[in-house]
Amino acid sequence: MSQHARVVALAGGVGGSRLAQGLARALPADALTVVVNTGDDLTHLGLRVCPDLDTLMYTLAGLGDRARGWGLADESFRAMEMVGRYGGPTWFALGDRDLGTHLARTTRLHAGASLTEVTAELCASLGVSTRLLPMTDGERRTFIDTQEGERLAFQDWLVGRRAAPRVSRVVREGQGQATCAVLAALDAADLVVLCPSNPYVSIDPIMELAGVRERVADTRCVALSPIVGGAAVKGPLGTMIPDLTGAPASAAAIARHYQGLLDGMVVEHGDAEGLTLPSLETRTVMGDEHDRERLARELLAFAAALP
């Protein structure tokens, strides 16, 4: 893989943003496009909120809150305190600075701009040179069917119910299609990287859009495992894998989920057990920016050396 490979990363929220930041540091600005899940998006308090796009944008801008993994650093929640005093919903916490993003995005969307256009405008304002592409400009939402028979909107399940209800099915609703920009980026890609996001609720929403899976299948593709030592680095994936597949959480379970798409997989030391495809074992739990860049460079070198 030459240094000026054209890389397209598919990403969701927290895990995806860390590898995306590493890739952005390891590649020239015009070499990386990140296609981002919008299945978590919601309209809340009248504002359009795009959690995964915002996590990616804030992380790439160096403005993200490192402890939470989402939202902005140096955040306060005084507007939410007032919302609460009026009896409004406080279960989904919108920080005061974060509200600025939702206000700006919602205003532009109401003016007729597409989510793709608005994302490019917000990124330019924050000095993010990596191209972030929402997977669709249309409606495409993830719902969780629980084993108790409820159907919950994604954030209601993840945040509202703390991802406690065990999952029986992950369901997508809406007619949104992959944007032309996403399909064109995939057509031009020398490498597709599946970031260590939740396959079921972050990567599948992108892969399921017409035209995406066949383009990924036609391109060299490498995944970074979101499962380390049988557990998820962050989020509900550790229980979703057994709930949805009956198998224990493992890198091999992730490889099986991406059946046929992967040319290689990067996993934590000791996690190559059961893998039947080329793999690189290394330290995959990402710390600071330098560590993220180190891992991204290892992944790119591993991908370049694949047959």
Task: Give the CB-nearest residue to ligand FO1.
Answer: 13
CA distance 297 to 290: 10
Q: Kind of pairing, strands 231-232 and 264-268?
A: unpaired
* Minimum distance, C-beta of residue 295 to ligand FO1, in the bound complex (Å): 20
CA distance 18 to 40: 18
* Minimum distance, C-beta of residue 181 to ligand FO1, in the bound complex (Å): 22
Q: Which of 280, 286 has the CB closer to ligand FO1?
A: 286
Answer yes or no whether residue 93 interacts with ligand FO1 by CB under 6 A. Answer: yes
Answer yes or no whether residue 79 interacts with ligand FO1 by CB under 6 A. Answer: no
Q: Which of 22, 51 has the CB closer to ligand FO1?
A: 51
Q: Of 6-14, 132-140, 225-233, 254-262, which part binds ligand FO1 (CB under 6 A)?
A: 6-14
Answer yes or no whether residue 249 interacts with ligand FO1 by CB under 6 A. Answer: no
CA distance 252 to 258: 10
Closest CA to 266 of 208, 237, 235, 305: 305
Kindly identify the residues of this chain, within the stretch 34-73, that bind ligand FO1 according to CB under 6 A. Answer: 40, 49, 51-52, 54-55, 70-71
Which residue is associated with the tokens 């330098």? Answer: 290
| Range 252-261, long-range pairs (CB < 8 A, 24+ positions) | 253/227, 254/199, 254/223, 254/225, 254/226, 254/227, 255/223, 257/199, 257/200, 258/194, 258/199, 258/221, 258/223, 260/217, 261/194, 261/207, 261/213, 261/216, 261/217, 261/221
CA distance 287 to 80: 31
Answer yes or no whether residue 20 interacts with ligand FO1 by CB under 6 A. Answer: no
Q: Which of 140, 215 has the CB closer to ligand FO1?
A: 140
* Minimum distance, C-beta of residue 14 to ligand FO1, in the bound complex (Å): 6
Q: Of 2-10, 87-95, 140-148, 273-281, which part binds ligand FO1 (CB under 6 A)?
A: 87-95
Q: Are 115 and 140 in contact (CB under 8 A)?
A: no
* Binding mask of the shown chain, residues 203 to 232, with x at each position contacting ligand FO1 by CB under 6 A: ------------------------------
Binding residues for ligand FO1, total number by CB under 6 A: 18
The count of residues in the chain is 307
Q: Are 37 and 258 in contact (CB under 8 A)?
A: no
* Minimum distance, C-beta of residue 94 to ligand FO1, in the bound complex (Å): 6
* Minimum distance, C-beta of residue 105 to ligand FO1, in the bound complex (Å): 11
Answer yes or no whether residue 94 interacts with ligand FO1 by CB under 6 A. Answer: yes
Q: Which of 98, 271 has the CB closer to ligand FO1?
A: 98
H or E segment to which residue 142 belongs: strand 141-146
Answer yes or no whether residue 137 interacts with ligand FO1 by CB under 6 A. Answer: no
- Which residues contact ligand FO1 by CB under 6 A? 12-14, 40, 49, 51-52, 54-55, 70-71, 92-94, 98, 155, 158-159
